[in-house]
Amino acid sequence: MRILIILLVVLHSQSVYADDIENSLSVNLANELLTTLPGTWDGQAIETPVGPVAYSINFHRCGEDIVAGVANPGAALHYWRFWQSDGELRLTFLTTFRGNQEPTPLVANRAETRTIWFYAPELALLTVSITLDDPQVDIRIFHHDKPHVYIRLIRTDKTMTESDLEAGLVKSCKKLTPP
């Protein structure tokens, strides 16, 4: 009986340790995401329902734990807002496709080696993964667990005019709230 109790204590300790490592990785990866994103990115939505589309974006730091950007791939604006609250990394995404003004809140629920997975608690059919692979970032959007959109962003050293930077900052950092 004593050996069984010791074995259970050891197994439980290893499980708690593994959870701590995973949580630490998630915190480190979340911080890396918020540190890596600010700046100018050239990109392409490689896979979309309508084929490849140019997808450039400039992410701005909007607060201590907030990074946001707006992309204009042509048919709609895409607002991306990454932020931390209560120790959780969150993403608010808004596409204005077909006049939509309803942002989708997502929460990071899993971290792998270089990838953070987000799910939408109120829209279970949507999952987003963000993979950091310097000097690029890969964003994959899944609809009903099937690939829907694949975006690859590559850091660029293009400089923007002061007025373009200011306009982008104002547009990117606006709070995304339901109408």
CATH code of 110's domain = 2.40.128.20
User: Domain range holding 37?
Assistant: 2-173
Domain contains 148? yes
Checking if the pLDDT of 20 tops 60, the result is no
**Residue percentage of the chain with pLDDT more than 90:** 59
Domain contains 136? yes
Domain contains 179? no
State the average pLDDT for the chain: 82
Domain total for the chain? Answer: 1
Pairing of strands 39-47, 53-54: antiparallel
Torsional class of 57: left (φ above 0), alpha (ψ -120 to 50), beta (otherwise): beta
Encode 11-39: b = buried (16+ Cβ within 10 Å), e = exposed.
eeeeeeeeeeeeeeebeebbeebbebbeb
Domain contains 110? yes
Q: pTM value? A: 0.80
Q: Write the DSSP string, 91-150.
A: EEEEE-GGG----EEEEEEEE-SSEEEEE-TT-TTEEEEEEEETTEEEEEEEETTEEEEE
Domain contains 166? yes
Domain contains 124? yes
Domain contains 178? no
Contact 124, 107 (CB under 8 A): no
Domain contains 30? yes
